[in-house]
Amino acid sequence: MNDVEQAVIRAHRDEWARVVAALTRRFGDLDIAEEAAAEAFATAVERWRADGLPPNPGAWLTTTANRKAIDRIRRENKRDGKHREAQMVYDNTPPAPLGAIDDDRLRLIFTCCHPALAMEARVALTLRMVGGLTVSEIARAFLVQGAAMERRITRAKAKIKAAGIPYRMPSADDLPARVSGVLAVLFLVFNEGYLASGPGTDPVRHDLTTEAIRLTRLIRALLPQDGEVAGLLALMLLIEARRPARVSAGGELVPLTEQDRGAWDAELIAEGHRLVRERLAAAAGGVAPGRYQILAAINAVHTSARDIRDTDWSQVLALYDQLVRLDPSPIIALNRAVAVAELDGPEVALAIVDRLAEALAGYHAYHATRADLLRRLGRGRQSRAAYDRAIELAGNTGETAYLTRRRDQLR
Q: How far from 241 is each of 237, 238, 310, CA to CA, in Å? A: 6, 5, 19
Question: Is the pLDDT score of 263 beyond 70?
Answer: yes
Q: Which of 7-21, 135-149, 310-324 has the lowest mean pLDDT?
A: 7-21
Contact 258, 250 (CB under 8 A): no
3-state secondary structure of 247: strand
| Segment 291-314 mean pLDDT | 96
Q: Cβ(96)–Cβ(53) under 8 Å?
A: no
| Distances, alpha carbon 391 to alpha carbons 26, 140, 402, 406, in Å | 52, 24, 9, 11
Averaged confidence pLDDT in the chain: 86
By the 8 A CB rule, do 270 and 240 touch? no
Q: Above 60 in pLDDT, residue 316?
A: yes
Average of per-residue pLDDT across 208-221: 89
Closest listed residue to residue 117, CA positions, set 126, 105, 130, 106: 126
Average pLDDT over residues 261-282: 96
- pLDDT value at position 4? 56
User: Can you give the pLDDT at residue 90?
Assistant: 40
Average pLDDT over residues 192-202: 73
Distance, in Å, from the CA atom of 368 to the CA atom of 399, rounded to the nearest integer, reads 10
Residue 142 has pLDDT above 90, yes or no: no
Tens of pLDDT, residues 6-59: 556 555 666 787 888 888 888 888 888 888 988 888 888 888 888 888 888 888
- The candidate with the shortest Cα–Cα distance to 73, out of 58, 57, 90, 95, is 90
Closest among 112, 97, 94, 84 to 24, alpha carbons compared: 112
Using the predicted structure, report yes or no on whether residue 83 has a pLDDT greater than 70: no
Quote the percentage of the chain above a pLDDT of 90.
Answer: 46
- Assign 217 a pLDDT band (cuts: 50, 70, 90): very high
Who wins on pLDDT, 189 or 14?
Answer: 189
> pLDDT class for 322, splitting at 50, 70, 90?
very high
The answer on pLDDT for 89 being more than 50 is no
What does the pLDDT read at residue 1? 45
Using pLDDT thresholds of 50, 70 and 90, give the confidence band for residue 203.
Answer: confident
Torsion of CA 314, 319, 321, 322, to 10 degrees: 150
Q: Give yes or no for residue 306 having a pLDDT over 70.
A: yes
- Residue 55 phi/psi, 5-degree rounding, is -60, -35
Show Cβ contacts of residue 94 under 8 Å, excluding neighbours closer than 6 positions.
none
What are 247's strand-pairing partners? 253
253 beta partners = 247
**SS3 for 253?**
strand
**6 φ/ψ angles, rounded to the nearest 5 degrees:** -65, -40
Q: In this structure, what DSSP letter does residue 170 have? A: P
What pLDDT does 199 receive?
61
Q: What is the mean pLDDT of residues 143-152?
A: 87
* Integer angstrom CA distances of residue 37 from 7, 61, 134, 145, 177: 16, 8, 12, 23, 30
Do residues 220 and 272 make contact, with C-beta atoms less than 8 angstroms apart?
no
Give the number of other Cβ atoms within 10 Å of residue 62's Cβ.
19
Distance of CA 162 to the CA centre of its chain: 27
pLDDT of residue 9: 57
Give pLDDT, residue 342: 97
* Integer CA distances (angstroms), 301 to 36, 180, 245, 312, in order: 47, 24, 18, 7
